[in-house]
Amino acid sequence: MAFYLIHELRGLKTEKDGRMRIRANTALPAAAAEDLVKKLLKISGISKAQANPRVGSLLIFYDSTKSRNQALRLLQANEKLPAMKKLMGVQTSSQAVMGGFFPLFRYLCIRPFLPPTLRIVSAAIGAIPFLLKGISALLHGKLCVEVLDASAIAASLYLRDFRTVSMLTLLLGLGDTLADWTRRHSLESLTESLTLNVHTVWRKVNGTEVSTPLAKIKKGDLIVVRSGSSIPVDGIVEEGVGVINQSSMTGEPIGVKREAGGAVFAGTVVEEGEIVIKVTSVGDDTRFRQVATFIEESEALKAGIQGKSERLADMAVPFTFGLAGIVYLLTRNFIRAASVLLVDYSCALKLATPLAVLASMREGTHHGMVIKGGRYIEALNDADTIVFDKTGTLTNASPVVAEVIACKDHNREEVLRTMACLEEHFPHPVARAVVKKAQDEDLVHEEEHAQVEYIVAHGVASSLHGKRLLVGSRHYIECDEHVDISPLSDAIAEQSALGRSLLYMAEDGKLAGMLAIEDPLRKEAVSVIAKLKEEGFTRVVMLTGDDERTARAIAARAGISEFRAQVLPSDKADVVKELTEKGCKVLMVGDGINDAPALSQALVGVAMIDGTDLAREVANVLLTRPDLNGLIAARRLARSTMHRIHTNFAATLILNSLFLAGGLFNLLPAATSAVLHNLTTLAISLNAMRPHLKRFALTQQPSGK
């Protein structure tokens, strides 16, 4: 086993302190991860250490350079420990949960046959781990749920109520087992759903770009990556300059500049520019690192309601201790005071909400969506306005070229051939449609043009045989480049009336021709928009770069009354911002490079799986099937999750208040209150995980049933 320093930030408070993320070259079982965290926290100056066993990752916060170096030396020493190597046999989720339920088997099937003395010893031994957790939390200055659990167990030991001690440790252990099991299953599903979806790359050979399967790329090859595309390898920039979005690796949202000599990593995205990369590493390792970091970041994105529940749980602990103290002062009855400690609100409050969120994230993967954090479940539930980008989102992800129209002095086939030659370098659905049309007509084109420049949301520019070529939207050709489009005014009017998008080509400042793009609505678009209105979306808005007439025709077919035409990338983000400032809670759906700013601006951004890499990276929710019905499923999943959370919250308050009152007024024995409280916590946790448990039960059935 080996550890690697993946990312580090310094100067969080002073020049010497900071945080670093370390990753092992394999997954860590829970025992190994827990052991490392304990050792790290014993180092003076290590303020916090977290482990993610599934991806073999450690996040370490340090106060000084000395503590940082001690932590690194500790990890280096642990690489060679035989004991650590023995721990590397990773348990499956099923094995882990079976092991976790062994105490229940022991309690029900073995304990009744033990002599009384052995029952007492068994209860005391079972209590030790929980007592140590509470003591450890106190030593670190924390008054948390672990301290409360330890106090309740200690009070029962003091009262010699060993039956209650056994029941408490059993139920607390079952709660931990269920939580860990849910986490394991959820992370496994998320990992399977998130892989780097790149199959071919542009390899540079003797100055020429050749489309090559990623599987055939090897160390030392040169590959070209342009704006909006994922980087599929680890490597060093040989040529060009680009702004790289490294949020999948570091969690930092701001792009970083990379030029010759700079390192780039698989799974990151080129936001702007074009770079030539010399490959240093390619394959499953780099993909796994990207997936692993994403999972870490998604776990950290807690829902607001989850944060509230955890804060309420922490606030409830001192309240419970205070109430127990008051009861003892008033009654001088330790048993009554202990009954308060045995019934508290903290356990269920702290367990149920994160379990519900994680179970729903996992459930989402089975319904065609990846939700990148708990906060976005809450956002999906709260959104009241939905904004659609038109091309590739409302319309079919694979538009087709309906007409090729050339000006008088130009050849139709040559117009199509040239436009395909330029567009094939870019991963947008319209570009793919142009290339496919040329292929269908057997129009072969050679790579004779100069470097292609991509102007975001406008078009492309290049040169061929000494002539400057422009391909793009009407706004780009007519307004920005001042090309006269009147030679095709009749054809423009005819095609626009049919609701088709138009892509223009100019040569040396004069219009050469245009393509009419048939961008049919997705077959499910009309029904989905109607259902979204039923699901509580009060406003549905369509954004498009098309002219007013085309936009109106498509919006009418989709059943949308509000639309914005001839919208630029910055305008899309501005529209979302404007709606937000008016009090709307905006859900933005997009698929292209030019949708990224709007996706980031919205309360929650949703991207389609067949969209560009940048859109998928920036979006908070990814629909893993090319079907808008995923929006309905996402909304309903979010609503059912929030309903379950609110139900659990109400049940926690009502039932525990009743148990507490029963203990205070001697209506319930302390042991009964404790059992009822812990059974309630367990039941609420199971309710939180209900979709997860139901699916697990179905998957465990033998085939044929």
Among residues 479, 481, 477, the alpha carbon closest in space to that of 504 is found at 477
Residues 6+ positions from 419 with CB-CB distance below 8 Å = 434, 438, 471, 503, 505, 515
Beta-sheet pairing, 539-543 with 385-389? parallel
Helix or strand holding residue 678 (H, E): helix 670-688
Residue 124: how many CB atoms within 10 A of its CB?
16
User: Rounded CA gap, 477 and 449, in Å?
Assistant: 19
Q: Is 442 exposed, middle or buried (0-12, 13-18, 19+ CB in 10 A)?
A: exposed
Among residues 210, 211, 231, 234, the alpha carbon closest in space to that of 275 is found at 231
User: Rounded CA gap, 544 and 394, in Å?
Assistant: 10
Residue 163: how many CB atoms within 10 A of its CB?
16
Cβ pair 373, 604 in contact under 8 A: no
Q: 76: which 2 tokens?
A: 């280096």
Among residues 695, 629, 683, the alpha carbon closest in space to that of 362 is found at 695
Among residues 372, 316, 395, 376, the alpha carbon closest in space to that of 348 is found at 316
Radius of gyration of the chain (CA): 30
Catalytic one of 17, 389, 595, 610:
389
Tell me the angle at which helices 304-331 and 334-342 cross, rounded to the nearest 10 degrees.
Answer: 170
Identify whether 180 is a catalytic site residue: no
User: Rounded CA gap, 162 and 184, in Å?
Assistant: 33
Q: How many CA atoms lie within 13 A of 3 on its CB side?
A: 23
* Maximum separation of any 2 CA atoms in the chain, in Å: 103
Name the phi and psi angles at 80, rounded to 5. -100, -5
Helix or strand holding residue 306 (H, E): helix 304-331
For tokens 């040239």, the residue is 418
Q: 462: which 2 tokens?
A: 């290049």
| CA dist 77 → 59, 65, 84 (Å) | 18, 18, 10
Cβ pair 269, 230 in contact under 8 A: yes
User: Rounded CA gap, 162 and 117, in Å?
Assistant: 11
User: Rounded CA gap, 533 and 522, in Å?
Assistant: 18
| DSSP, res 26 | S
Q: Is 520 exposed, middle or buried (0-12, 13-18, 19+ CB in 10 A)?
A: middle
Which stretches within 53-115 are classed as H helix?
A: 65-78, 82-86, 93-100, 102-105
Q: 27: which 2 tokens?
A: 């997954």
User: Rounded CA gap, 434 and 436, in Å?
Assistant: 5
CA 167 to chain CA centroid, nearest Å: 38
User: Rounded CA gap, 254 and 272, in Å?
Assistant: 12
Q: 189: which 2 tokens?
A: 């599903």
Tell me the angle at which helices 304-331 and 346-366 cross, rounded to the nearest 10 degrees.
Answer: 160
User: Rounded CA gap, 372 and 605, in Å?
Assistant: 10
User: Rounded CA gap, 611 and 604, in Å?
Assistant: 17
Q: What residues are labeled active site?
A: 389
